């Protein structure tokens, strides 16, 4: 075992020493597991090679915590700690040499949150700095990692016992089974981010329907535009919030409590902007996490604001508080045009009065209309009664109210529940007034009095912030588009995936990426539903015959297309087609089942829409 360790250490040092020589000349791509060089003119992580004359020590153990320890190990440990403390002090004294001050704050904040959330209180590992830590100690060779400016790197290289300071090396996995270029082309995102081994509620919404007859193994990645909701405001009206933990540790956005309404309706601005409202019921905490948490949420860079309203026993809310909260948002100019989404994961059945909404619900409708006219978007949950939101004499509000995007839930408790077909959760409400569906089952985490709790939750309360998060990512990736409630709903419906709910054709929400990849790289089919694998003419033919969207042959579809093309207007939105847009501007392009124009097999094969383009 000792010989193996020596060999491993020799290889590590060899690789890093090679980097000393070539660090400024390597220039390779990020694809395919190749080494990615970093330019020396920016702030970055460096590896510092040090000659520790006192010899080797265990970097994962504090000798002062041991009963019996060699003097040499204590001396080696003291030397290393003293040097790392000195480097940390240099960093803090020379913060002005860093070009990205926000990154420094982010590293500092993340380190503080990790320390607070960590169960390791032994103090064995060096933890005096947010920017410096030991990497390896073998013999007299000590390796230290540090986040430095270029100027500081040069200064540290001149310190005693420092042999070299070189940029750290980034590598990527060799096993990427997805195609970045295909994803960006189909989704039209500005950039791609991927969260590996994501929760099911995240992976489901960033791929088409998983068919185990076409795809070898379910893809658990969450793919999303790199803008990730940046610059967009999600306002959550709910019981209470806590933004003081790692899910909101990225400092380039705002995550705070905006206002708290007490039991007599009086609004107060909380002194602690991170924690407000109920500390007994954590509904709002979990809803906010699903909308915008770093690990569990959709829009990881969106601003998120909590509006806390009073909650009674059994988590019951009064509609009058919702009215007051909406009025507060309007009066205090919190609706930024085309940049604001309000999430209301609350609701209940309310009796109609003379066939109409009650006066109180009409007031909600009036306020929502004003918000919509100002360029805001409001999403609300459909409820968990397993009933129609319109029961005739009773309606589920605020879901039923005009201009609100009402969200139902699909069963998503395990991969098998989203395999080959989507199914409405038995408990989710439904009906014509439910606009779209999203995963019903989620994993969330929240801060309960300083302890991080991870829970499995279910309900349309979570389907709604998933939808709010996707809307935020769409808005942030299209900053020049002035989205309204109508246009954003059309966008969601065009990207959504069709399924049947109580005899109605509805859509499951999707964020714009429909290619279904296999995590083991094995496919039994072709086209967009099978990793964009190329299709032969024969497979195109069989795909067309099996498609739910058409039972005609390719030739008859083409002829039908020519008959109808003159009566259908040409789409004025680049590369888009379908019922909401019209036919493809280029008469030689196919309109895919998801409403995109192109000439690939994915567009012209399964689900191709002959009314809006050609089909091959």
What local confidence, expressed as pLDDT, does residue 280 receive?
A: 80
Contact 546, 236 (CB under 8 A): no
pLDDT band of 316, cuts 50, 70, 90: confident
Checking if the pLDDT of 538 tops 60, the result is no
Class of domain 225-407+424-485: alpha beta
Q: What is the pLDDT of residue 174?
A: 57
Quote the CA–CA distance of 466 and 408 in Å, as a whole number.
11
pLDDT tens per residue, range 66-95: 888 899 999 999 999 999 999 999 999 999
Look at residue 90 in the predicted model and tell me its pLDDT: 95
Q: Give the DSSP letter string of 434-493.
A: --EEEESEEEEEEEETTEEEEEEEESHHHHHHHHHHHHHHHHHHSTT----HHHHHHHHH
Mean pLDDT taken over the chain = 86
The percentage of the chain sitting over the pLDDT mark of 70, rounded to a whole number, equals 86
Strands (E) located in 190-299: 192-195, 222-225, 233-238, 240-242, 255-261, 267-268, 275-277
**pLDDT of 216 above 80:** yes
141: burial class by Cβ within 10 Å (0-12, 13-18, 19+)?
Answer: middle
Q: Can you tell me the distance from the alpha carbon of 66 to that of 61, in angstroms, rounded to the nearest whole number?
A: 9
Stretch 580-589: mean pLDDT, rounded? 87
Nearest CA-CA partner of 380 in 306, 322, 308:
322
Q: Output the pLDDT for position 145.
A: 95
Judged against a pLDDT cut of 50, whether residue 36 lies above it is answered with no
Average pLDDT over residues 422-449: 96
Distance CA 2, CA 317 (A): 65
Looking at residue 430, its pLDDT comes to 97
pLDDT of residue 17: 44
Q: Tell me: the pLDDT tens digits for 235-252?
A: 999 999 999 999 999 988
* Domain spans, the chain: 2-167, 225-407+424-485, 534-612
pLDDT of residue 549: 32
Contact between residue 305 and residue 235 where contact means Cβ atoms under 8 Å apart: yes
Band (pLDDT 50/70/90 cuts) for residue 564 is very low
- Report how far residue 593's alpha carbon sits from residue 605's, in angstroms, rounded to the nearest whole number: 9
Rounded to an integer, the average pLDDT of 288-317 is: 94
How much is the average pLDDT of 350-365? Answer: 92
**Counting Cβ atoms within 10 Å, is residue 217 exposed (0-12), middle (13-18) or buried (19+)?**
middle
Burial of 199 (0-12, 13-18, 19+ CB in 10 A): buried
Q: How far apart are CA 78 and CA 62, in angstroms?
A: 10
- Asked if residue 170 lies in contact with residue 129, where contact means CB atoms within 8 angstroms, the answer is no
CA distance to 52, 60, 202, 586, per residue, from 56 (Å): 8, 12, 45, 69
Question: Do 474 and 512 touch, CB atoms closer than 8 A?
Answer: yes
Give the pLDDT band (50/70/90) at residue 582.
Answer: confident
Q: Measure the CA–CA gap between 124 and 144, rounded to whole angstroms.
A: 16
Average pLDDT over residues 425-442: 97
Residue 580 clears pLDDT 60, i.e. is over it: yes
Q: Tokens at residue 431, please?
A: 């009906």
Query: 340-344 and 376-381: which strand pairing?
Result: parallel
Residue-wise pLDDT tens digits, 157-169? 999 999 999 999 8
Q: Which segments within 281-357 are labelled E, that is strand? A: 303-308, 340-344, 348-351
**Rounded distance between C-alpha atoms, residue 541 and residue 177, angstroms:** 27
DSSP string of 106-172, one letter each residue: HHHHHHHHHHHH----S--S--S-SSEEEEEEETTEEEEEEEE-HHHHHHHTTSTTEEEEEE--B--
Q: Where residue 522 falls among pLDDT bands split at 50, 70, 90?
A: very high
User: Which of the pair, 483 or 549, is modelled with greater confidence?
Assistant: 483
pLDDT at 372: 97
**8 A C-beta contact, residue 514 and residue 186:** yes
Residue 213 is classified by DSSP as T
Residue 9 has pLDDT above 60, yes or no: no
pLDDT single digits (tens) 469-481? 999 999 999 999 9
Q: Is the pLDDT of residue 20 over 90?
A: no
Average pLDDT estimate for 102-120 = 75
Rounded Cα–Cα distance for residues 431 and 502 (Å): 8
pLDDT band at 281 (very low <50, low <70, confident <90, very high): confident
**Among positive and negative, which fits the CA dihedral 267, 270, 276, 278?**
negative
Q: Strand pairing partners for 597?
A: 591
Are 234 and 203 within 8 A, CB to CB?
no
State yes or no: pLDDT of 368 exceeds 90. Answer: yes
- Classify each residue of 9-24 as buried b or exposed e, where b means 16 or more C-beta atoms within 10 Å of its C-beta: beeebeebeebeeebe
In order of 39, 170, 538, the CA distances from 144 in angstroms are: 20, 16, 59
Contact 519, 220 (CB under 8 A): yes
DSSP β-ladder status, 44-51 and 141-148: antiparallel
Q: Is the dihedral of CA 266, 267, 273, 274 positive or negative?
A: positive
Confidence band, pLDDT 50/70/90 cuts, at residue 553: very low
Long-range contacts of 580-583 (CB under 8 A, 24+ apart): 580/490, 580/493, 580/494, 581/494, 581/612, 582/612, 583/611, 583/612, 583/613
Report DSSP state, residue 573. Answer: S
pLDDT digits (tens, 9 = 90+) for 370-406: 999 999 999 999 999 999 999 889 999 999 999 999 9
Mean pLDDT of 334-361: 94
Question: Cα Rg for the chain, rounded, in angstroms?
Answer: 28
> 5 vs 395, which has greater pLDDT?
395
303-308 vs 348-351, strand pairing mode: unpaired
pLDDT of residue 175: 57
pLDDT at res. 47: 95
């Amino acid at each position: 075992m000792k010989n193996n360790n020596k060999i491993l250490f020799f290889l590590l040092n060899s690789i890093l020493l090679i980097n000393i020589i070539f660090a400024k000349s390597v220039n390779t791509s990020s694809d395919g597991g190749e080494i990615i060089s970093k330019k020396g003119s920016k702030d970055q992580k460096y590896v510092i090679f040090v000659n520790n004359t006192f010899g080797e020590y265990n970097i994962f153990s504090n000798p002062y915590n041991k009963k019996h320890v060699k003097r040499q190990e204590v001396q080696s440990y003291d030397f290393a700690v003293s040097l790392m403390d000195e480097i940390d002090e240099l960093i803090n004294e020379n913060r002005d040499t860093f070009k990205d001050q926000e990154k420094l704050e982010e590293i500092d904040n993340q380190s503080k949150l990790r320390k607070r959330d960590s169960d390791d209180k032994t103090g064995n590992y060096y933890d005096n700095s947010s920017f410096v830590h030991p990497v390896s100690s073998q013999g007299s060779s000590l390796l230290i990692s540090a986040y430095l400016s270029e100027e500081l790197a040069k200064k540290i290289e001149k310190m005693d016992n420092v042999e070299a300071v070189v940029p750290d090396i980034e590598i990527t996995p060799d096993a990427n089974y997805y195609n970045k270029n295909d994803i960006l082309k189909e989704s039209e995102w500005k950039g791609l981010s991927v969260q590996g081994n994501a929760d099911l509620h995240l992976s489901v919404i960033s791929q088409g329907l998983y068919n185990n007859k076409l795809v070898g193994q379910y893809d658990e990645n969450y793919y999303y535009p790199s803008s990730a909701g940046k610059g967009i405001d999600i306002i959550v009206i709910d019981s209470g919030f806590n933004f003081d933990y790692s899910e909101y540790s990225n400092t380039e956005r705002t995550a705070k409590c905006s206002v708290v309404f007490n039991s007599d309706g009086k609004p107060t601005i909380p002194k602690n902007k991170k924690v407000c409202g109920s500390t007994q019921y954590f509904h709002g905490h979990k809803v906010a996490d699903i909308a915008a948490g770093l690990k569990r949420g959709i829009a990881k860079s969106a601003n998120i604001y909590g509006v806390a309203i009073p909650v009674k026993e059994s988590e019951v809310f009064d509609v009058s508080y919702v009215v007051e909260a909406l009025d507060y948002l309007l009066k205090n100019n919190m609706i930024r045009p085309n940049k604001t989404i309000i999430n209301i994961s609350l609701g209940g059945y309310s009796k109609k009065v003379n066939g109409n909404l009650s006066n109180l619900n009409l007031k909600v409708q009036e306020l929502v209309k004003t918000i919509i006219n100002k360029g805001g978007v409001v999403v609300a949950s459909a409820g968990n009664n397993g009933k129609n939101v319109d029961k005739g004499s009773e309606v589920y509000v605020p879901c039923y109210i005009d201009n609100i995007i009402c969200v139902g839930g699909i069963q998503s408790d395990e991969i098998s529940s989203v395999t080959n077909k989507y199914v409405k959760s038995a408990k989710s409400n439904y009906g014509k007034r439910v606009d779209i569906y999203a995963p019903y089952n989620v994993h969330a985490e929240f801060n309960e009095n300083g302890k991080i709790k991870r829970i499995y939750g279910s309900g349309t309360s979570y389907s709604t912030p998933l939808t709010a998060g996707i809307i935020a990512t769409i808005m942030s990736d299209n900053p020049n588009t002035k989205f309204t409630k109508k246009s954003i709903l059309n966008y969601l419906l065009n990207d959504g995936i069709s399924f049947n709910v109580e005899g109605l054709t509805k859509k499951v929400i999707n964020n714009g990426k429909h290619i279904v990849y296999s995590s083991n790289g094995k496919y039994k089919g072709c086209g967009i539903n099978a990793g964009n694998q190329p299709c032969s003419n024969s497979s195109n033919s069989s795909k067309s015959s099996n498609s739910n969207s058409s039972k005609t042959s390719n030739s008859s579809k083409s002829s039908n297309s020519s008959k109808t093309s003159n009566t259908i207007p040409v789409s004025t939105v680049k590369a888009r087609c379908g019922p909401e847009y019209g036919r493809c501007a280029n008469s030689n392009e196919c309109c895919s089942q998801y409403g995109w124009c192109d000439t690939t097999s994915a567009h012209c094969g399964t689900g191709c829409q002959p009314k809006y383009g050609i089909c091959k």
